[in-house]
Structures are given as C-alpha cells and as structure tokens.
Amino acid sequence: MTSVGSILEHLKSGEIIAYPTEGVWGLGCNPTDSNAIRKLLDLKGRSKDKGLILIASRFDHFRDFAHVEDFKDKLMTKWPGPHTWLVPPKETLSEYIKGSNDKVALRLSNHDIVCSLCNSFGGPIVSTSANKEGLPTLNDSQEILTNFPGVKCLEGNLGGLEKPSTIQDVVTDIIIR
C-alpha cells in the first residue's frame, strides 16, 4: 500500500496518482502544474478540449480557480458529496483544466480518502476517471498499475456510488451527466 506521504511527494514532483473516489477510481495530478496535466491527458489519450474536474475537501480550495463565492449558497445545496458543478472559472485557470469549456468542473468531496489527500496536499487535485479514453473505468489498484505503469496508487475503498458523479451547470441548472 502506498502511503499518503509517498503520494504527496509524487503529486508535488509533477507525477500522476490514482486514488479511490465516491464511485470510481480516479487519476489525478497537481492542478497548478501544466506539465503534469499534459502528462495526464497523454496517459489517458484524452483531448485537452474536454477539460478536467478539480476535486477538493474544502470550499476555500476552489477560490483561486473559480468564482465559487458568487454561487456558494447554490453549490452547498449538493456539497459536500458526489455532485460536480460547472462554475465560471477565474481568468488565470489553466486551459488544460477548463478545456474548450466556458466553465470549470468542481466537486467538493466527502470521501474520507479524497479529503485526507486534499487536506494533506493543501488544495484541490485534478480528478478524472482511471481509464484510457473511450474504455471502461478500471476497477481496482492492480488493474490501474497494470494499465498505467509508473502511476502511484493510494489504496482504499470506493465510496459506494455505482457510477460517476452527476455534473450540473451552476448557472443554467442543466444536468450534463
């Protein structure tokens, strides 16, 4: 089992990590490291236009990335939990996180492992499903390590949700997924 300390070293050095979330295994990296984000996109074979989710354990983790204060009351009706909101981004947000979208995807988690990881890291991390683009999500750490050699995997259990989180636009209320 890889420790949180080892995972944090990996994150801070621009590497990709894997970890359990509410419903699926996730791949992630430091959201302020453009090289790490590009490495993650390449690893998955994912287009940079699609954008990525930022996952965090505290509301204030998102303040540097999106205009969360403008929508706090609405966001908190579904947070913390497995609900991803699309929120207007700050102008400084990396195009690799936002993609070609006009909003950024944010999820304030209540999953113990995700919260421990984000609290230890001191902010949000990039979160995307652990799979190659277009293929099913991998089911456990062994599959992840087989398919993504070199990725550090934080052992733990999924949160019991049987599918990825709902994604909803905070401005229009449209549910995307």
Domain chopping of the chain, boundaries? 4-169
Provide the H-helix boundaries in 29-125.
34-44, 72-75, 95-98, 112-121
pLDDT at 54: 98
Structure tokens at 158: 């999924």
Element (H, E) at 147: helix 141-147
- What is the dotted CATH code of the domain comprising 4-169? 3.90.870.10
Q: What is the pLDDT of residues 85-144, one digit of tens each?
A: 999 999 989 999 999 999 999 999 999 999 999 999 999 999 999 999 999 999 999 999
* Residue in 70, 76, 34 with CA at minimum distance from that of residue 58: 76
pTM above 0.85, yes or no: yes
